[in-house]
Amino acid sequence: MNASVSKEALDARDRPARLTVGVVGAGRVGPALAASLQLAGHRPVAVSGVSDASRRRAAALLPDVPLVPPADVLARAELVLLTVPDDALPGLVEGLAETGAVRQGQLIAHTSGRYGARVLDPALRAGALPLALHPAMTFTGSSVDVQRLAGCSFGVTAPEELRLAAEALVIEMGGEPEWIAEEARPLYHAALALGANHLVTLVAQSLELLGKAGVASPDRMLGPLLGAALDNALRSGDAALTGPVARGDAGTVAAHIHELRAHAPQAVAGYLAMARTTADRALAHGLLKPESAEDLLGVLSDRAGAGNGTDGTDGTGEPGPGEIR
């Protein structure tokens, strides 16, 4: 036996057993994860999807894999990915367990950020092996998602005896496992939603406002600014804060609110909420001086937010004392 054959044999011995994989819920996440597992040598054998969009995604990412009802997915697969919305997950697990679809020794993994492994207790009682594998990434529903899984962190929760198996699956998908305690899952998920989902809303709103201000290419203007801000924030946290709130420029903030009330009143509440939070964090970290904060917090007060001054006026449409015109 030559050296290259010996190495191949050794690699094959060290690799975990290849699994048949099924997906229940062909949304944006499931087909991409199954496709990444296929690249690692596992074999997708069944997928379920209801909407036309789900069926198209499955056909694009998992060609030749049959579309079947959820119970049939479990009948064919050794590893089942439950990739449905958070609120639908408990009922789905209970239903599959009650109908006897769950098999002894079957790996059942969900991708919900909110839930840990306990939501799979009905499947566990039926003999399944429960895993919570949440990719901390936004998905497009296209093949680019498979590429983005490289280096993506996964929030992993599982019984201690399954921890290594769960982490191995994540690594095979190109991800990096991050162990999350069962009781910490809701907080973990809230943190991700705050940072990622709300970021999309803020950026989309900023693009709209720049367009209203006459900027021809809002995306081109925002790209470098947001890229630098994100990089600075990841490196330095609150020390990266800049802008009128961190400086305590109450007049500038009042002018912002005035313009938002005139041109985008739906954005005022969000601006106030974020500005108050920014001011609190800037004060706590010594970036905003207490003597500069008083006027600023007055502009951002609940009374101002209710209509008396959020636009930089005294509530009658005229600038209040000390406010810019």
Residue that is last in its domain, among 180, 208, 237: 180
Q: What SS3 class is residue 20?
A: strand
Q: Are residues 152 and 204 in the same domain?
A: no
Distance CA 164, CA 120 (A): 18
Distance CA 148, CA 136 (A): 11
Q: Are residues 194 and 169 in the same domain?
A: no
Q: Is residue 52 part of a domain?
A: yes
CATH number at residue 165: 3.40.50.720
Provide the token pair at 87. Answer: 């609120």
Q: What SS3 class is residue 1?
A: coil
Residue that is last in its domain, among 112, 145, 180: 180
Q: Are residues 136 and 201 in the same domain?
A: no
Q: How many CB atoms lie within 10 A of CB 2?
A: 6
pLDDT tens, residue order, the chain (325 aa): 333 333 433 343 344 569 999 999 989 999 999 999 999 999 999 999 988 999 899 999 999 999 999 999 999 999 999 999 999 999 999 999 999 999 999 999 999 999 999 999 999 999 999 999 999 999 999 999 999 999 999 999 999 999 999 999 999 999 999 999 999 999 999 999 999 999 999 999 999 999 999 999 999 999 999 999 999 999 999 999 999 999 999 999 999 999 999 999 999 999 999 999 999 999 999 999 998 899 999 999 855 555 544 343 433 344 333 333 2
Distance CA 126, CA 104 (A): 7
Q: What SS3 class is residue 3?
A: helix
Query: What is residue 50's predicted lDDT score, i.e. its pLDDT?
Result: 86
Provide the token pair at 2. Answer: 């030559």
Query: What is residue 301's predicted lDDT score, i.e. its pLDDT?
Result: 86
Range of the domain at 252: 188-305
Provide the token pair at 40. Answer: 């690692």
Q: Are residues 173 and 53 in the same domain?
A: yes
Start-end of H helices in the chain: 3-14, 30-39, 52-61, 70-76, 89-98, 121-125, 144-148, 163-172, 185-192, 198-212, 218-236, 244-247, 250-263, 268-284, 290-299, 302-305
Q: Are residues 162 and 243 in the same domain?
A: no
| pTM of the entire predicted model | 0.82
As for how many domains the chain has, the answer is: 2
Q: In the chain, how many H helices and how many E strands?
A: 16, 7
